[in-house]
Amino acid sequence: MNKPIRRVFFVVVFLFALLAFYTTRWTVFEARSLNQNALNKIPAQKNAKKPRGAILTANGRVLARSVKRSDGEYVRRYPQGELFSHPVGYSFAFYGQSGLEKYYDDRLTGRTKSVGSILDQLLGRGGDEQSMITNLDRGAQQLAQTEMAGRKGAVVVMEPRTGRIPVYLSIPSFPPAAMGTNAGVKSLNSDNQNSPLVDRVSDATYPPGSTFKVVTATAALDSGTMTTESTVDGNSPQTFASKPLQNDFNQQFGPTNLETALTYSVNTAFGNIGVDLGPDRLLEYMKRYGFYEPPPVDLPPGQLLSSGLRRGGDLLPADANFDLARTAIGQERLAVTPIQMATVAATVANNGVRMEPRIARAFRDDYGRTTLKVSPERATRVMKPSTAEELNKMMRKVVEEGTGGAANIGDLRMAGKTGTAEVRGGNQAWFIGFAPYDNPKYAVAVTIEKTQLFGGQVAAPIAADVLQYLLRNQ
């Protein structure tokens, strides 16, 4: 009998150990990820019994606040309606949370307390919830929404030196209040034609088209594979991976240096550059820029997608075979988020240093005391300062002489890159850039879904107008 009893004993011990492991895992090691899960409604249900801190724009406009109902519970109100629905998100006991409301739930509810707030609580004065001041700019956000004119897509603006985000716009948006009712949730979830709940800034991916040539040019220059004077074959068409590749309108450029290739977006030249770089070097610089990782922005992990080569919605392994020439020009199976491409532009503008994007700026208690400053966080150095300077000059020429001429307005001094990728139903139009090029204050990415126009025609003017507004009102 001893042997069977020992077996039962070890099985029971193993089951208890397994129970202890998973209990510890969920309550300690993965508590934050469980709390951030979009399907977890418990935090929002707990919070209905007390007020949450307000969420404000950079200049104090209220984006979210708590209102006490007659039954004693608190409900969230969003005075700006749909304008900031994706970055701010929602918090309702009925359907849960998203956006900043979810990511900073502990501070908005006061579960993360400062020494001052603990003392206040002991003395019986004030609440312990904290209000959030964001980096969001209502005027610039409103202008971006107006200029998108209902077209599906995204506009995102970053400060290159700090990563602060004054504009975070996803179109279509949704009325946050609708997430507090069964009918509203049902209506939004059933709108498959518009998918208003999808955050097109950080939770949707698109082919980047020629905007990706900035990444390819970075790899070529910074690795020493090319200089600005090196030439490659820019004739059209040429064959890569047994398939013909041609330039727009089949233009012939002959021996083409890197500056000319970027200015006029010469596909065949960049195809040759991609082949010369090889897969390892190109992937190395993609990863330096943040590809193959979720964007490090202060939003719940479940709302963030990684950019890179994808198949069927999933990221391909980094060592998967791919068409180098077409990847180098932003085609193949490349899929990127707008916030990733804004990061590319911001990194060039910041002398080659990539910063982590941030929507929140600070938190304050009931007495106006700052309890937390959301400091800029450096992600990594992507390239040498000299490489960033050369890219800056080349991106200026794109706007001054090349495909980005629509962004060359007034005294803006924009540097940028256009992109147009063919998709089912039209073009995915892009523009990324920064201004002013001699002292960059803002970087931008604009993309529009299924348009019949090119990035230089439809996305570049929006980018220019939004940055011009920010520079004039900073």
Q: Give the CATH number for residue 402.
A: 3.40.710.10
Lowest model confidence (mean pLDDT) among 13-27, 88-102, 182-196, 343-357:
13-27
Q: Average pLDDT of the chain?
A: 90
Q: pLDDT class for 293, splitting at 50, 70, 90?
A: very high
Assigned token pair, 116: 């001052």
In a domain, 216, yes or no: yes
Q: pLDDT class for 115, splitting at 50, 70, 90?
A: very low
Q: pLDDT class for 6, splitting at 50, 70, 90?
A: confident
Range 319-325 average pLDDT: 87
Query: What pLDDT sits at residue 20?
Result: 67
Asked if 115 and 365 touch (Cβ cutoff 8 Å), the reply is no
User: Bigger pLDDT: 10 or 276?
Assistant: 276
In three-state secondary structure terms, 279 is helix
**pTM > 0.75:** yes
In a domain, 97, yes or no: no
In a domain, 435, yes or no: yes
In a domain, 138, yes or no: no
Assigned token pair, 123: 């003395």
Lowest model confidence (mean pLDDT) among 9-18, 242-251, 355-364:
9-18
Query: What pLDDT sits at residue 5?
Result: 74
Share of the chain above pLDDT 70, in %: 89
Q: Is the pLDDT of residue 31 over 60?
A: no
In a domain, 77, yes or no: no
Which position has the token pair 């932003």? 330
Residues 6+ apart with CB under 8 A from 243: 323
Cis peptide before 172 (omega within 30 of 0): yes
Range 225-234 average pLDDT: 94
In a domain, 400, yes or no: yes
Assigned token pair, 176: 């946050």
Share of the chain above pLDDT 90, in %: 79
Nearest Cα neighbor of 447 from 134, 90, 85, 200 is: 200
Cis peptide before 436 (omega within 30 of 0): yes
In a domain, 232, yes or no: yes
Lowest model confidence (mean pLDDT) among 56-65, 89-98, 443-452, 454-463:
89-98
Strands (E), 415-468: 415-423, 426-435, 442-451
Q: Hey, what long-range contacts does 226-233 have (CB within 8 A, 24 or more apart)? A: 226/258, 226/273, 226/276, 227/258, 228/257, 228/258, 228/259, 228/390, 228/394, 229/257, 230/257, 230/258, 231/255, 231/256, 231/257, 232/256, 232/261, 232/269, 232/272, 232/273, 232/276, 233/268, 233/269, 233/272
Burial of 433 (0-12, 13-18, 19+ CB in 10 A): buried
Q: pLDDT class for 120, splitting at 50, 70, 90?
A: very low
Range 360-385 average pLDDT: 95
Query: What pLDDT sits at residue 14?
Result: 76
Q: Is the pLDDT of residue 259 over 70?
A: yes
- Secondary structure letter of residue 200 according to DSSP: T
Domain count, the chain: 1
d(CA 137, CA 359): 11
Query: What pLDDT sits at residue 48?
Result: 64
Query: What pLDDT sits at residue 18?
Result: 72
Query: What pLDDT sits at residue 15?
Result: 78
Question: Domain of 321?
Answer: 209-360+376-472
Lowest model confidence (mean pLDDT) among 78-87, 108-117, 299-308:
108-117
Asked if 40 and 96 touch (Cβ cutoff 8 Å), the reply is yes
Query: What pLDDT sits at residue 72?
Result: 82
Q: pLDDT class for 95, splitting at 50, 70, 90?
A: confident
If residue 157 lies in a helix (H) or strand (E), which one and from where to where? strand 153-158
Query: What pLDDT sits at residue 403?
Result: 95
d(CA 103, CA 306): 18
d(CA 135, CA 151): 25
In a domain, 294, yes or no: yes
Q: Is the pLDDT of residue 448 over 60?
A: yes
Q: pLDDT class for 12, splitting at 50, 70, 90?
A: confident
Residues 6+ apart with CB under 8 A from 274: 216, 282, 324, 325, 326, 327, 328, 329
Q: Is the pLDDT of residue 287 over 90?
A: yes
